[in-house]
């Protein structure tokens, strides 16, 4: 069955520290991979996506993610976290022909001043 796992429910980092949020997927076909961010009381906004090609993708707000097929992972990184990055982060997977995007359970990021 198709699934997306985000092993960390909560992560707390200090402002200015680096960040890595983990995402693992289980998918039979070649996946399309996404990271979304949800601020409190808001809808989800796309940070970045991977379809093919360069396995390191750059997104908005200084985020990047690396696709590692051998590990079935698509981890999100940011070299220096800002207080405004505190939010819920979701990894999502889709594949051609399904009209379905499957989301992980989310990771809540807290940033300490």
Partner 1 sequence: DTAVSQTPKYLVTQMGNDKSIKCEQNLGHDTMYWYKQDSKKFLKIMFSYNNKELIINETVPNRFSPKSPDKAHLNLHINSLELGDSAVYFCASSQDMGLGSGELFFGEGSRLTVL
Q: Which residues bind partner 1 (CB under 8 A)?
A: 32, 34, 36, 38, 41-46, 49, 51, 88, 90, 92, 94-103, 105-106, 108
DSSP state, residue 93: E
Q: How far is the CB of 41 from partner 1 (least distance, A)?
A: 8
Closest CB to partner 1 among residues 12, 45: 45
> In sequence order, what are the residues at sequence separation of 6 or more whose Cβ sits closer than 8 angstroms to the Cβ of residue 55?
66, 67, 68, 69
For the residues of 46-57, what is the DSSP string, one character each? EEEEE-SS-SEE
Q: How far is the CB of 84 from partner 1 (least distance, A)?
A: 18
Residues in the chain: 113
Query: What CA–CA distance (Å, rounded) separates 6 from 103?
Result: 9
Q: How far is the CB of 80 from partner 1 (least distance, A)?
A: 26
Closest CB to partner 1 among residues 34, 63: 34
């Amino acid at each position: 069955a198709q699934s997306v796992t985000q092993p960390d429910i909560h992560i707390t980092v200090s402002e200015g520290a680096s960040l890595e949020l983990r995402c693992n997927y289980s998918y039979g076909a070649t996946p399309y991979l996404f990271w979304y961010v949800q601020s409190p009381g808001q809808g989800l906004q796309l940070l970045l996506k991977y379809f093919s090609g360069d396995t390191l993708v750059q997104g908005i707000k200084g985020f990047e993610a690396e696709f590692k097929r051998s590990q079935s992972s698509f981890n999100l990184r940011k070299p220096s976290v800002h207080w405004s990055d505190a939010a819920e982060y979701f990894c999502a997977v889709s594949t051609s022909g399904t009209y379905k995007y499957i989301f992980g359970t989310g990771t809540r990021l807290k940033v300490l001043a």
